[in-house]
Structure 1
Amino acid sequence: MASAKQDFERFVEWLHLQEKNIPSEVRRLANLSLANFDSLAATSRNRSQRSIYLVDLIRATLALTSDAPPAFQAVAANGAWPWKRLRHLTLGPFRGFRNPEPFDLQKPIILFYGPNGSGKTSFCESLEYALLGEVEEAGSKRIDAKTYLTNSHAQRFVPPILKATDQQGREVDVVSNAETYRFCFIEKNRIDAFSRIAARPAGQRSELIATLFGMDQFNEFVAHFNETVDRQLVLEVDKQVVLTARRDALATDQVTVDGEAKALQDLVNEEVQLGQTHSAEMTYAGLKQLIGSADAPCRLQELEGILNAVPPGNIGLTRPGLLQAFEKVHKLHGLVGEVSAALAERSSQVSFKDLYTSVSALQEAEGDHCPACNTPLEGPIHVVTNPYEKAKAGLAQLKDLGDLQESLRTRQSEAATASRELRQLLADMSKFIVALQEQDTSVGRYLADLAIEPAGDWWTNLYPAQLDPNPEAFVLEHLLIVADRVAEQDAASLLAQQERQKHIEERDGLNRFQLLIQAHDLKRQQCVDSIAEARTRIAAFDVTNAELIEQVAQEKRNIERDAPIKAAYDLFLTELRDYRDKLPGSLLAGLNETAMNLYNEFNRNDLDVDKLAALHLPLTGDEKIEIAFRGNPEARVDALHILSEGHIRCLGLAILLAKAQSIESPLVVFDDAINAIDHDHRGGIREAIFESDNFLQMQLIVTCHSNEFIKDIQQHLPPKRRGDCTVYLFRHHTGDYQPRVRGNIPTKNYIVKARAAKDELDDRAALASARQALEMLSEKMWRWLASHDLGMIGLQLPGVGAEPSLRNLCDALFKKLNEAATFNHANKTPLLVAFRRILGIPATNLVWTYLNKGTHEEADRDDFDAEWVEDVVHTLEELDDIDLRPGR
């Protein structure tokens, strides 16, 4: 979190500006946070970790913290840097370097190349540590700096020793200052992250500029402050509310005690009214006595006993009813006798009636002959009298006999019914006798011995009654006396049923009064108890609530302590977020024009309409990066929405370089940054950085794993700057865990190599480099002509799919420039002279043979013409001196 701490230091410094007039408590809080930055940064907003930590810290030490501005490292103002160029670096043991390794950094351009893992990153991190005092990668990975920087084989690390040359040419030690040198580094990771964030939805791009300038850690640090620390503070009078509620209850208790006499008198009045509700003369005590209790039963318990007793059922037996039953059965029995006697007198007729009935029944089966003799009823021989007709006639004459028989059956049925009815009455009487437990009486024994369904005239020994019975015999009167007793019981039961409803109504009324009395007695008891409890609470309030009273006092002290903390934190967080939101504007202020020009130079091959006419960098985190194209300069569009990923990366690099230029930084370190740019834009970037005048006063250190890019830088450096470049080669160790570092790598510039070979009389090698140089210069000249609208040339090809020969290309370029009569430029004449000299060498000469196809090992070859070889090298040197940058 090193970079985050640096940004937070700048915030604290900004917060202490006199014109901001920030309250003392807020400045103390800022100073306290800075003093405990590492511990604070290790917390997050999750589960209020940061708030809890910060509040505990504030309570413990805020009052002891000064509100004065802390001492900060001085930041170099533009043009007032403590040195103008790095001079020498020694690193190791450090990261990938096991042993000390020296580096000569006196040249303006230092190029490092080598495969991945060979030590380039360790070299850049040593510069970062020496200049900034920290390595950002260690903080972002949350690894202890000592652990991160230690060489695992040497088991230690030694801080790099960095020397520089000051404005007077003296050697000085470089003192680390993160704020001063933070914009000296341009890293691949930042450009990659810039392009990735650009691909996010618009609402998620607030960290765009922070990521580009390496301030994403500061953004993350600020984001983890909780919105409020209220939950960790005591701000509400919760205990006071409880105590106030209890004191209010105590006041209620006092009202209860003061109203005791009135409350008791009201109860007495209610008692009087309740007694009078029963009856005018009834008192409350009398009413309670009337109702009674289990211990002292009275009218209510009496009524309950009456109503709970089951009255006897109504038997329905009376003397007249019993006599009537005896009379009825006796009378019907007499009628049966009379009918039976009448039938006996006509017994002979009964046989004929049965005979005639039988003959009539046979008519259906034997209808054509006599059923007795089987003689036909008709025909020559037939019966004298038709038996069926005789039977019908006889039945008609005996009809009254049938009626007499039916009457006998009816009388017998009625007599049997009357017998059963009489027996049922005696059965009811038997139940009465059993209920009274009088089974041993004469009536009881008679009824017990009586069959359930007695046959015959079983009653005749009792009815009709004899005039002079035997005194000891059982007679009808005995039964009639019992019937009289049953009738009396039935009358008493009916009277009880009539009185029961009155008893129910009286009992229910007393029950209602009992409930009212119980409720009133409970009310009186509650009143008495509440008054007693109120007196007790009043007497014991201070003792009972002693702890709460102390808590209220402590709560008041806590609120007095925490209320300023809340105010300070809220304002601190507001200012911190405001600073974070304004940070992009402060970083990007004044960079629009410079960044736009660099972007256009990076994209030299784009159509002119696709280059930028305006660039508007955001001043707040909510604003967009807007651009306008030369094809439509009035239309401002969202750059991240319109530009491709490759163009966005170029824009990020242009912004970083513009920032370095704006602060007149003496140094820019490209930590593998070129590899973050796609191949199509590397030529434009190389030209803008190493071939233009943009960074002449700035030392450039480049690490790159691309040997070709390093070679291209050397090829295209202007002749006057080629001596300002040093190249280092990094290679993997061979088992000693120390990278193999080789300095003073010979230049790969074709013209320099051609001159060196010629000076050694190696014409073959000179022509090999000369061919490569001529190809490069011809391409450069062609691009230069195109920038002046002369890029269309005619080329002869030796065949389909073949490449044009180098001589044909040079000839076509010469003709195009020579025939451009209206084109006047300072470069025109020297270019024509140089190409005329090159083309003056005959095409069949061995020199052009090698310039066209390159040099190869051949047997029995002729020697080269040394003068023409010299002319070629000399001419290339002249061409190299001409400024062929597009548009010049």
Structure 2
Amino acid sequence: RIWAGRSFADVCDWLFGNAQIKGRLSYVQGLLNAPSPQIYDVSQVNLTALLAEAYRIDELLSAAKQQLAARAADVSYAHLYEAVLQLNDGANSCPACGTDLGNVAQNPFERARVGLQQLAELAAIEQKKVQHDQALSSALHELLIAMSSAIRALVAVSPEELRIANLPLLPPTSAGEWLKPWLDNNQHAWLTLLNLVVSIEKKDAESHLILGQRHDLAQERELLDGHRSEIERCRTIRAASLQAVLDAQNEVAQFEVANHELVVEVATEAQQIAHHKMIKDTYDGFLGALRQYLDGLPALLLQGLGQKARNLYNSFNRDDPPAELLHALWLPLAENGKIEIEFAAEPGVRYDALVILSEGHIKCLGLAILLAKNIDQGCPVVIFDDVVNAIDDEHRNGIWRTFFEDDLLAGKQVILTSHAEEFLHRIQQELGVQRAQLIKVYKFLPRGGEHHLRVDADPPTKNYVLLARASLAAEEKRDALRHSRPAIESLTDRLWTWLGKRGDGRLELKLSGPRANWELNNKCVKLRGALGRVLNPHPAMPAVIAALDDLLGINGGSIEWSYLNGGTHDAQRDNEFDRAAVLRIVDAATALDAGLAQLQQGR
């Protein structure tokens, strides 16, 4: 409030002063304690007006005197009449001749009274003369007083200039012609006085200014006194506060001395508490981040997987009726959410998947979701741990075909475990020779009382074509034909399935009796004819047809075809198998496997 933007110390120095500067309060007080300047109240205007007034009255007096001089005889009569009237008091006779007033021709007193009445104008002029004379004396007296005041002021203000001017002396009274020396010589002395009065006027102006400033200074002093009181109050409060601080510090010091050991323990415990608080704060932050992550994890893991999981589920269940396939699938994006599905036969109607689906279908759905996530993230490895457990054979067929025929796992390392021996056997057949050779198989054997695992790290392959080729290489022609029969059956079945997806898959097969099995040779003949009628054949089709032609080029009544048609019975045979025919059959099966793989890759 006193001086915005400045410190308390600055304000105190400004108000009270210090060794370098004088305080504003003492400065203002010193100015007010100094004597008040003299006001002489002398001016040229006042002196000139007084002289002019004297001149004016003198002119009026001169005019009255002139009028009286012009009527001097009247003036004598007036004096005579006044003298006669003065004798009127108790008179019984004429003052001039002593005649009794009753005997005179004209009463002298009455005549004097009448004469004065007739000379009333003259009396008025006389009265004015007297008044003017008195007024002139008064005016000259006032002029003398004013001039004396001016001289006294000049003695104080401009003594040297007054001495040099050598003005006439002023008399103590205004009697006589005291003014004449001031007006002689064209009013030289008078005008000199007026010129000297200018310095008095300046001095009076300065004095008036100082007196006006004293009023302002008095107001400022009152304001500064208020500031002084406020500062003293603040100093008192500060002193009390500092004393309170000192008392508190003393008390704290005494406390620290008395409780030194406890203070040390508290400081040690404070460090532990601070450390624990840091751990707790960090844990709370981590826990919050973890909860936030867990809350968003379902949406993060399942984002965009609904369509892919639905397609995989339908692929797993490809052998189900079309109405039981899924039209839409919604995965939960929050905790405790439901997996909802729509069937192709009931679009728009949602069901809780875990309520309406069977255990096998639920396993297919879970497998579809996980595989969709694996594919979506581009994982280089996929592990199936007993994937077809509690899944029927029909769905196993759809699962392995989805894995290995739809190229969904192309470029991935697949690790698959299963107790289903036929499932693994079927996979090795369906993969074809080229891919079956890339498989690494480990077989866990039953324990015979020992307490360690028994693992067959190189079990024989289950692929019939590879088995046939291995038997032929070992000159086991019978075993080669034995393995060739199921190889050709599997290859032609897969080829027939491929044909059914590309057009009319119906074939007419001949049976030798009501309960007889169809012959493999007849199946190959019919399949060869159907493939030859396919429009816009695949580039691999000629190789497949050539393999069938090569296979059918062997006489259908030969011992080799008889063995292939009849199966692998251990019947008594005297004739040896022709190695060239067996080699031709194995090579045809190998070529048919390679061509079928190309057809399936081209879909």
TM-score by length of 1: 0.34
Q: Which of the pair has the greater relative contact order for Cα pairs under 8 Å at 6+ separation?
A: 1
TM-score by length of 2: 0.49
